[in-house]
Chains A and B, each alone.
Chain A
Amino acid sequence: MPTLLQKILRVGIATEQLDLAETDVVQVVRQVEAKTRRLLGRSLAIREVDAGSCNGCELEITALTNPLYDSERFGIHFVASPRHADLLLVTGPVTRHMEVALRKTYEATPDPKLVVAVGDCAKTCGVFKGSYAIAGSVDRIVPVDVFVAGCPPEPTDLLRGILTALDRWPKS
């Protein structure tokens, strides 16, 4: 116990500041209603849906919750059920196996809700394009609000993407 506490004290706060200047990796597709913005201001629950990614994107998404990026400081946290979620974070090209699941997840999420598609695959199907197993990009299956580009996108980009979806941080 003492050693653990010592270590905690030695490290101090590890969280990095977020630079919100760069937003070119983020592409807003759908104008989110003002209501959504007002509601989800500082409390956002995310349900992550892996619709067939190579898990590269997942690695970066997991990094969001670590002490360095600490998405929780913005009130952004991951939940276990789409019923609790406000935002779906979808990765990968949607495979035929995951098509129904993705649609059902969208269906299960209470309104108002947002969808952020993460990674190049989500937009263009990336290297998987043309495969027999692919049903199409995410926006073919569910309405997408924001695309975050990158293969995989960095955690900071992800955070920017999510915050852009909420559209509450001023773009300078």
Chain B
Amino acid sequence: MMQTLFLLTICAYSLGALGAILGGRGQLGRSLVGALAAIGATAGLLLGLTVIFTGQSFTAFVPALLPVGGGLALRLDPLGAFFLSVIGVVAIPASLYGIAYNEIYESERGSLRLLGAMFNLFLLAMSLVTLADNVFTFLLMWEGMSLTSYFLVITESDEAETIRAGNWYIAVTHVGVAFLVAAFLMLTGNASGAFSDLRVHASNLSPLARDLVFLLTLLGFGSKAGIIPLHVWLPRAHPAAPSYVSALMSGVMIKLGIYGLLRVALDFLGGGPAWWGVLVLVVGSVSAVLGVLYALMEHDLKRLLAYHSVENIGIILMGIGAGLLFHSYGSMSLAVLGLVGGLYHTLNHASFKGLLFLGAGSVLHATGTRNMEEMGGLMKRMPWTALFFLIGAAAISALPPLNGFVSEWLVFQALLKGLNIPGIEAAIAMPLAVGMLALTSGLAAACFVKAFGITFLAMPRSHEAESARESPLLMRIGMGMLAAICVVLGPGAIAVIPLLSRILVGLGGLAEVPVSLTEGVSLQVPTSSSQIALPTLALALLLAIGSIPVILKLLRVNFRLRRSESWGCGLTELTPRMEYTATAFAEPLRRVFAELYRPSKELTIDTHPESKYFVQSIAYRSEITPWFDRMLYTPLLHLIGYIANKIRRLQSGLVHLYLLYLALALMGLIFASRWIER
């Protein structure tokens, strides 16, 4: 059964890729390619769920195709299965959505064949990352995932911006891979690259080496996950990609960074000292707060969402960091709580961020712009998209009873419980982390009031928004599926969370503490009595909201409603130019956090030559350069440019000089190996 599902996944994706190359241009071909991707994703999802439910790992039979480095080894354990399921959750709607969305590429804006093929291969590579069972397979698939997604990012290659985004992406990704290779080399040592050997070998490493491996993996996987300050590619690349690819990249691909971190830090290394947890917690808090703060200042809808991915990765890492910290103190049930919070947020973020990106894509599809200042009034023109986007916005703002609230609640509980842990690290880190998490969720709510309100409510601010039409059915289906998942995963948490805690069993010695998080209908947190009952809560809320009109009817209150113009203080006409803009909405927060943003201001006033009291035109420009760009990357790029300029002298173009380099390098290697052996 599992073998069939596995083969189905592989075959569907491969056929999809092949089909796209052969006939991905036409309407039928496109649909077929999308359908195959959806089938592959479904099979993957089923396979993942089977492994999670049975708790039985699945080892795939792979013919020895590649005899290098131990060949391909594929095995799916519950942790990998969880991430494989997450891929499926987003990939099915995204593939369906993509079928309809791709029509904008029919006019030669991008190569549909390449897009279809890369999309399928991207999904395949991501799925195989979760299945990899040795270093070679893992790194191969990891690289495949990065490369295919690079091609997806540069789909709209007619724009210079897109190409630049792609360059950032490929550069940061490969720096990350370099860290990963180093980490895996240290982990492997003389052992074979099989993951089972790594576990054994990791326990023999010296503490210093373990610390080094941990730091390297944090950097390597963190660059993929988009932790600050390694996130720079994220707000550039995600908006550039086709929207359903953005959904996958933001919803799923960056989560594989989390997968890698868990795999290495918890599974291979089996946890570590307290400062590992504190470090992850700090990185998470900083990413969460800065991510949402920069999101608030964005008026490009997709970039805004991309910054929110940084924020949510931060929240996930806060849960995981708390988990690692508790793990180091030996309080296993609390460790499970933190990790479960992180994992659940992973799943939830995949669903609502996928949904939001699909929604943003739908808006982009209808208006042709990503600039929120040119939108507005889409609620009436695209009611379905608006509804789905609203659900996503409410979920990401952690509003009960939706799914985002549950996972944030879990992370909160983990952090609050951490206050009772003796230890100076916890006493300092935990209260601050609690504050940061609360600030993050408050700011996220503010940001999504802006994102939804400015985009969908009030009057259209441009002609494009004025004439926007609702998206095709398939796109609505894609969004609807994810919206339903967001709603279900809220009260449904009581069913999902025990599964999540089962996934963790066996990782880093978490086997002995099977924690059940349910009791009746309420969600109970281990080692204390904090609990919530989301189904009851959702029911009470629905009942309360639903019964009000009924009660009002029974009380015979006045139900007359007259429609009239907006009250504009007696204005002759309220025009869209008088509406509140996204910039204005974020202005108070920009002033509150001015120290961080340090906006540049430029004001030019043109007055009449005769008198300075007659203003002819005013130009105001204000820009925010994120501090990591300002302080970190600009100097770094300058330095690299400088060094590269120096090194260029070596490139003379003379063949015999190159031969000399080769000879020197060879001699150097020989000496080095001799020296190491001794």
Contact = CB atoms under 8 A, between A and B. Distances in A.
Nearest to A83: B567
| Interface residue tally on A, bucketed by range | 10 to 19
Contacts of B570: 98, 100-102, 104-105
Contact of A107 (B560, B564, B569, B571): B564
Nearest to A104: B570
A54 interface: no
A81 B566 CA distance: 11
B565 interface: yes
A6 to B, nearest CB: 39
Question: Which residue among A83, A108, A111 has the maximum number of chain B CB atoms within 10 Å of its CB?
Answer: A108
B565 A100 contact: no
A136 interface: no
Interface string A81-99: 1110000000000000010
B572 A108 contact: no
Contacts of A75: none
A110 interface: yes
Contact of B567 (A82, A100, A102, A111): A82
A98 B572 CA distance: 10
Interface string B557-579: 00010101101111110000000
Nearest to A101: B570
A110 B567 contact: no
A82 B560 CA distance: 17
Interface string B472-493: 0000000000000000000000
B572 A107 contact: no
A83 B571 CA distance: 15
Nearest to A110: B562
Contacts of B567: 81-83, 108
Contacts of A83: 567
Interface in B502-560: 560
Interface in B204-241: none
Nearest to B569: A101
B562 to A, nearest CB: 7
Contacts of B568: 104
Interface in B246-276: none
A114 B567 CA distance: 18
Which of A98, A104, A110, A111 has the most CB atoms of chain B within a 10 A radius of its CB?
A104
A104 B565 contact: yes
Nearest to A105: B570
A110 B569 CA distance: 15
A102 B568 CA distance: 12
Contacts of A82: 567
Interface string B282-316: 00000000000000000000000000000000000
B127 to A, nearest CB: 56
Nearest to B561: A110
A123 B567 CA distance: 26
Contacts of B571: 101, 104
A60 B564 CA distance: 32
A76 to B, nearest CB: 21
A94 to B, nearest CB: 12
Nearest to B568: A104
B572 A100 contact: yes
Contacts of A102: 570
Contacts of A107: 564-565
A111 B441 CA distance: 41
A108 to B, nearest CB: 5
A102 B564 CA distance: 15
B126 to A, nearest CB: 53
A108 B565 contact: yes
A105 to B, nearest CB: 6
A105 B571 CA distance: 10
B565 to A, nearest CB: 7
A66 to B, nearest CB: 25
Interface string A8-33: 00000000000000000000000000
Interface in B560-618: 560, 562, 564-565, 567-572
A105 B565 CA distance: 10
Given A82-B567, A101-B570, 13 more contacts: A83-B567, A98-B570, A100-B570, A100-B572, A101-B571, A102-B570, A104-B565, A104-B571, A105-B570, A107-B564, A108-B567, A110-B562, A111-B560
17 contacts: A82-B567, A98-B570, A100-B570, A100-B572, A101-B569, A101-B570, A101-B571, A104-B568, A104-B570, A105-B570, A107-B565, A108-B564, A108-B565, A108-B567, A110-B562, A111-B560, A111-B562
